[in-house]
Structure 1
Amino acid sequence: MLNTLEFVVLLLAAAVVMVALFRSLNLPPVLGYLLVGAIGGPHALNLMQESAGASHLAEFGVVFLMFSIGL
């Protein structure tokens, strides 16, 4: 189990790698963000349990995703 800061740094690093990979494959970078979130969540690798901190992090992720797609 990772603490919140380590988890955020890990997610950001994974997102950078996945976005670069998806851009090289001519796919939308948003899919890379979604894939990193799905893999890092409680249903795949279980890096972060569901908690209040996870819900705040999820809200931040939704805002960042909406910002990146231009809403």
Structure 2
Amino acid sequence: MFKSIDLKNDPIPKLFLCFSIPSVTGMLINALYAIVDGIFIGRFVGADALAAITIGLICTLSSTQFNYQHFFL
């Protein structure tokens, strides 16, 4: 089973690791996906499609940051 996290009594370094590891893992997976997607799109479809994928990635990352900012405020 999963151990519960006590935000009031647990030490801050432990809490920091418990919350940062999933976030960093998600960012690494997203970056790997963008790299592999760029390789395949750039090689098989062309430069215009690669530019569109890059713009789409920037829009996705910006909207994610905007949503997180409003979630934590």
Q: TM-score, normalising length from structure 1?
A: 0.45
For the pair shown, the structure with the greater C-alpha radius of gyration is 2
Structure having greater relative contact order (Cα 8 Å, sep ≥ 6): 1
The answer to which structure has the higher helix fraction is: 2
Q: TM-score, normalising length from structure 2?
A: 0.45
